[in-house]
Amino acid sequence: MMQAARQQALGYVRALPAEEPQSLFVLVVDVGYCIDVYSNFAGVGDSFVPFPDQARFRLPLAALADEGTRLLLRQVWLEPRELDPSRRDARVTRELAGYLAGVSAQLERAGHPAETVAQFLMRCLFTMFSEDVGLIPKASFTGMLRTYSTPELREFLPDALRGLWATMDTGGFSPDLKARLRRFNGKLFHDATALPLTADQMALLLKTAEADWTEVEPAIFGLG
């Protein structure tokens, strides 16, 4: 029934006059049960796909009790382009690049060579990405940074990072992450240098780690 209703809705889209603005969303409603959400940010004909993905496009009616769901539907009607994943990814990437630029500038002013700083931050970035895509346990690296951000432990952060990255280079058990890690090849973590951080630098790095790295554009891995 929902598929038939979707095809009917797409028929309405195809019947719109050519001068009408491009439709970005199609909502298919089973009254009293659910709302199916489809998007077409590519602007290609009537190629509407499940939004945000195949697993989450169906909103049960009970989900309307959630503020996040209501905000999503509000944006569908009032700010549909703000939901474009490419725009969101670019916005998140710019924000994180700003944090990293702040850390980089401070470390270079402290006398660390630019190449050393760039490689250090690249290892941090890739480790953040790894926890968000499940290559290492979820939230494990962020939790580690949070632990070592305290005044009494911050001086030990470089040692902890070197230990973690040495384990990622070879594979094995990481005491700080409390997990057995696979081996990461490519030499990124081979003989890895870790730099000491001030409280301000630690705060910026932690903000960066707390972001969702699945929403970050791959170009950020070319920083430095």
Q: Are residues 70 and 103 in the same domain?
A: no
pLDDT of the residue at 127: 94
The residue written with tokens 């009616």 in the block is: 61
Q: For the chain, what is the domain count?
A: 2
- Write down which residue in 57, 83, 109 finishes a domain: 83
Q: Are residues 60 and 103 in the same domain?
A: no
Q: Are residues 106 and 185 in the same domain?
A: yes
Cα of 154 vs its chain's centroid, Å? 26
CB atoms within 10 A of CB 195: 18
Question: What residues contact 160, with CB distance under 8 A and at least 6 apart?
Answer: 144, 148, 176, 194
Q: Is the pLDDT of residue 215 over 70?
A: no
Q: Is 120:194 a contact under the CB 8 Å cutoff?
A: yes
d(C-alpha 117, C-alpha 112), whole Å: 7
Q: Which of 114, 221, 131, 214 minimizes the C-alpha distance to 179?
A: 131
The boundaries of the domain holding residue 204 are 85-222
The encoded tokens of residue 5 equal 């209703």
> Pairing relation of β-strands 172-174 and 179-181?
antiparallel
pLDDT tens readout for residues 159-201: 999 999 999 999 999 999 999 999 998 889 998 999 999 999 9
Report field, pTM of the whole predicted structure over 0.75: no
Read off the pLDDT band of 224 (50, 70, 90): very low
Q: Are residues 179 and 68 in the same domain?
A: no
Distances (CA, A) of 54 to 24, 38, 115: 17, 10, 42
Q: Are residues 71 and 92 in the same domain?
A: no
pLDDT of the residue at 208: 86
Q: Which of 76, 68, 74 minimizes the C-alpha distance to 37?
A: 76
Q: Are residues 48 and 17 in the same domain?
A: yes
- Write down which residue in 35, 60, 83 finishes a domain: 83
88-94: list long-range contacts, CB under 8 Å, 24+ apart. 88/215, 89/215, 89/216, 89/217, 90/217, 92/211, 92/212, 92/215, 92/216, 93/216, 93/217, 93/219, 93/220
Q: Are residues 110 and 49 in the same domain?
A: no
Q: Are residues 25 and 128 in the same domain?
A: no
CB atoms within 10 A of CB 7: 11
Q: Are residues 70 and 179 in the same domain?
A: no
Q: Which of 166, 158, 167, 159 minimizes the C-alpha distance to 205?
A: 158
Percent of the chain with pLDDT over 90: 44
d(C-alpha 57, C-alpha 37), whole Å: 5
Q: Is the pLDDT of residue 42 over 80?
A: no
Q: Are residues 78 and 92 in the same domain?
A: no
- Write down which residue in 49, 83, 117 finishes a domain: 83
Report, in angstroms and rounded to the nearest whole number, the Rg of the chain calculated over CA atoms: 23
pLDDT tens readout for residues 97-128: 777 888 899 999 999 999 999 999 989 989 99
Q: Are residues 194 and 141 in the same domain?
A: yes
Q: Are residues 23 and 121 in the same domain?
A: no
pLDDT of the residue at 113: 94
pLDDT tens readout for residues 79-88: 888 777 666 6
The encoded tokens of residue 144 equal 């580690």
pLDDT of the residue at 88: 61
